[in-house]
């Protein structure tokens, strides 16, 4: 069966981003860009399913300007078979991304779509759920375990109270949580091979999707800074301060 | 304006997160109605009707909604939601799972995790793990919003007397089914609702050593949390994780033990009223947000803390 994996190009998780001086956006000039960590886990899960013989082909999709081809190549180096880039320089909001993915799902007809549960830039946690809605598929979000068998997939989900397991009819959408797997590193020979794997380009217009933004960012600003307090000498002083100064115990 | 708030519950009890979400609805202003979708959830609907500020409760009592399967509940929320100006749910794992699905069915770009209401169409929300706060304006006719519960003080659970109206829509998408769950059983308060939280990090070294924290927690009536490092290392289960991708907490007192203070962890607890850090590394970033820092070996300090409380 075929798996579609979505990958997003984001500011690397080690970079501490700051708002631009005029407060219109975050400053992403000259910062390191990487594949979103949750998307990397999605690619890894697809590759493991292929290694188990459950999956025969992995298609990696990314959307955005030309540079997001780098993240598709990363997915190809990790084990995806071919890539699709939806090229646009316009702002893409999660609903627009979900609609583009839906158009690709209609064409490619994968049995499983695996996405990260959220991207570490927008922190929206929406795209997988919206794709599932538009495609009429079941959704296994925040997955920590995925088992495919006989036309369905069992997904163990990380929920506030602990773990929940659901069974979804295929085709279905899965979004990854942190503990689903530990992604591998791409080997140098695989990075070289990835350069020769097929990568098709399309556009939102070709897919017939209206990507007009529905929300506008009016301002970005740093959060209120928390001031560092004091160091206490020992446990006795700590307990005393908590009782008489902070009055929280 | 009319606002539909999706209640968080387990078919027996209305969860506190609902009260924070209703507070956000009050900040927007307008008529507030609450949807209780579940199975055998009559008591929850009755409880929701008593909440301050609620004008009506819609009770959708059907087996299809028993386990809050997103495929079924989102369809119901979209069916009902088109009659409202705003649809709100708490940004819990249940809300985050269901709400975007409902939004897509309504052709709306939802707004996740709001921490402030600027006007009925403009909201503040954290991005980049809370390193940046964005002010976002929606142009959709219906605003679909998840609410960061720690950012809004809960409304009173008593004082209202709304009518309960039953909703006769049984949406079963037929593509998903509940298999089972493993929920953590604990006599301690829930992490997100506790007044005091004590969390352990990689410095705890193993799961057994969390016993030290449980002892302190029992003296303080506290919940016990963990950093991602401690969860990833297998010391404790995932439902204890505090941070950007775990639970967001804002108790009166947060005690971080053996936690270095990665930005992802700070994103989950830095709105706590008083923060205490116990760490033997005096350079640990956790000290930069702590009101009271104690540079000490946790294996000496925590047992001593327990005896002094």
Cross-chain Cβ contact B94/A11 below 8 Å? no
Q: Which residues between 83 and 112 in chain A have a beta carbon less than 8 angstroms from any beta carbon of chain B?
A: 93-95, 98
- Between chain A and chain B, the number of residue pairs with CB atoms below 8 A apart is 255
Q: What is the mean pLDDT of residues B158-170?
A: 95
pLDDT attached to residue B187? 87
- Overall residue count recorded for chain B in this entry: 309
- Determine the Cα–Cα distance for residues B124 and A223; give it in Å rounded to an integer: 11
Can you give the pTM of this predicted structure? Answer: 0.94
Q: Does the interface ipTM go beyond 0.90?
A: yes
Cβ neighbours of B232 in A, within 8 Å: 178-179
Is the CB of residue A211 less than 8 Å away from at least one CB of chain B?
no
Mean pLDDT of chain A: 96
- Whether B107 has a pLDDT exceeding 90, the answer reads yes
| Other Cβ atoms within 10 Å of A82 Cβ, number | 15
Find the residue in B nearest to A222 (Cα): B132
- With tokens 């949807």, the residue in question is B35
Q: Percent of chain A beyond pLDDT 70?
A: 100
Cross-chain Cβ contact A129/B98 below 8 Å? yes
Q: What is the mean pLDDT of residues B99-103?
A: 98
A247: left (phi over 0), alpha (psi -120 to 50) or beta: left
Mean pLDDT of chain B: 96
Chain segment B46-80, per-residue pLDDT in tens: 999 999 999 999 999 999 999 999 999 999 999 99
- Determine the Cα–Cα distance for residues B271 and B269; give it in Å rounded to an integer: 6
| Other Cβ atoms within 10 Å of A32 Cβ, number | 9
pLDDT attached to residue B148? 96
Cross-chain Cβ contact A216/B173 below 8 Å? no
Cβ neighbours of B270 in A, within 8 Å: 226
pLDDT-derived band at A131 (thresholds 50, 70, 90) equals very high
pLDDT attached to residue B186? 83
| Cβ-count burial B193-231 (b if 16+ within 10 Å, e if not) | ebebbbbbbbbbeeeebbebbebbbeebebbbbbbbbbb
Is the CB of residue A20 less than 8 Å away from at least one CB of chain B?
no
pLDDT attached to residue B245? 84
pLDDT attached to residue A123? 96
Distance between B7 CA and the closest CA of chain A, angstroms = 15
- Whether A225 has a pLDDT exceeding 90, the answer reads no
Q: What is the mean pLDDT of residues A41-67?
A: 98
- Whether B160 has a pLDDT exceeding 90, the answer reads yes
Q: What is the mean pLDDT of residues B207-228?
A: 97
Helix B70-81 crosses helix B93-105 at what angle (to 10 degrees)? 50
- Whether B32 has a pLDDT exceeding 90, the answer reads yes
- Whether A111 has a pLDDT exceeding 90, the answer reads yes
Distance between B171 CA and the closest CA of chain A, angstroms = 13
pLDDT-derived band at A56 (thresholds 50, 70, 90) equals very high
Helix, strand, coil percentages, rounded to 5, for chain B? 30, 30, 40
Helix A69-78 crosses helix A37-51 at what angle (to 10 degrees)? 30
Distance between A170 CA and the closest CA of chain B, angstroms = 8
Chain segment A143-177, per-residue pLDDT in tens: 999 999 989 999 999 999 899 999 999 999 999 99
| SS3 label, residue B176 | strand
pLDDT attached to residue B290? 97
| Other Cβ atoms within 10 Å of B20 Cβ, number | 24
Is the CB of residue A160 less than 8 Å away from at least one CB of chain B?
yes
Cross-chain Cβ contact A133/B74 below 8 Å? yes
Cross-chain Cβ contact B179/A249 below 8 Å? no
Distance between A189 CA and the closest CA of chain B, angstroms = 30
| Other Cβ atoms within 10 Å of A155 Cβ, number | 28
């Amino acid at each position: 069966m075929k798996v579609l994996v979505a990958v997003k190009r984001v500011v690397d998780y080690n970079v501490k981003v700051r708002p631009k001086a005029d407060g219109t956006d975050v400053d992403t000039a000259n910062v390191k860009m990487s594949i979103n960590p949750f998307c990397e886990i999605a690619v890894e899960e697809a590759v493991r399913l292929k290694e188990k013989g459950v999956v025969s082909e992995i298609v990696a999709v990314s959307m955005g300007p030309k540079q997001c081809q780098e993240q598709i190549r990363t997915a190809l180096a990790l084990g995806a078979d071919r890539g699709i880039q939806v090229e646009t320089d316009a702002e893409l909001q999660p609903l627009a991304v979900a609609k583009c993915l839906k158009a690709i799902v209609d064409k490619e007809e994968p049995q499983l779509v695996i996405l990260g549960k959220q991207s570490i830039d927008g922190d929206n946690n929406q795209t997988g759920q919206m794709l599932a809605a538009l495609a009429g598929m079941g959704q296994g979000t925040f997955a920590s375990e995925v088992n495919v068998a006989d036309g369905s997939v069992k997904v163990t989900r990380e929920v506030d109270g602990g773990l929940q397991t659901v069974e979804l009819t295929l085709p279905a959408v899965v979004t990854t949580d942190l503990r689903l797997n530990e992604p591998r590193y791409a080997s140098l020979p695989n990075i070289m091979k990835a350069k020769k794997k097929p990568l098709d380009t399309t556009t939102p217009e070709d897919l017939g999707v209206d990507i007009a933004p529905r929300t506008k960012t009016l301002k970005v600003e740093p959060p209120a800074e928390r001031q560092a307090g004091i160091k206490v000498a020992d446990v006795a002083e700590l307990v005393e301060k908590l009782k008489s100064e902070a009055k929280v115990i | 304006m009319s606002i539909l708030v999706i209640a968080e519950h387990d078919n027996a009890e209305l969860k506190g997160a609902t009260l924070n979400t209703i507070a956000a609805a009050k900040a927007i202003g307008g008529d507030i109605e609450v949807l209780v979708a579940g199975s055998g959830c009559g008591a929850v609907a009755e409880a929701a009707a008593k909440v301050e500020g609620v004008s009506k409760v819609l009770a959708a009592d059907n087996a299809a909604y028993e386990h809050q399967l997103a495929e079924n509940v989102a369809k119901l929320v979209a069916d009902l939601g088109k009659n409202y100006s705003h649809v709100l749910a708490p940004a819990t794992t249940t809300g985050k799972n269901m709400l975007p699905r409902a939004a897509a069915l309504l052709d709306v770009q939802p707004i996740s995790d709001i921490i402030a209401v600027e006007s009925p169409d403009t909201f503040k929300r954290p991005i980049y793990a809370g390193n940046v706060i964005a002010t976002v304006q929606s142009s959709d006719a219906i605003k679909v919003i998840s609410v960061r519960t720690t950012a809004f003080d809960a409304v009173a659970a008593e004082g209202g007397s709304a009518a309960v109206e039953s909703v006769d829509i049984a949406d079963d998408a037929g593509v998903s089914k509940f298999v089972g769950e493993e929920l953590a059983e604990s006599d301690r308060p829930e992490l997100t609702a506790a007044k005091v939280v004590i969390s352990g990090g990689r410095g705890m070294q193993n799961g057994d050593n969390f016993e030290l924290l449980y002892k302190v927690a029992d003296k303080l009536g506290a919940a016990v949390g963990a950093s991602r490092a401690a969860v990833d290392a297998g010391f404790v289960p995932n439902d204890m994780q505090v941070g950007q991708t775990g639970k967001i907490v804002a108790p009166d007192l947060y005690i971080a033990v053996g936690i270095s203070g990665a930005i992802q962890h700070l994103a989950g607890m830095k709105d706590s009223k008083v923060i205490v850090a116990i760490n033997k590394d005096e350079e640990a970033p956790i000290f930069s947000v702590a009101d009271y820092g104690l540079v000490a070996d946790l294996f000496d300090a925590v047992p001593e803390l327990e005896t002094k409380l």
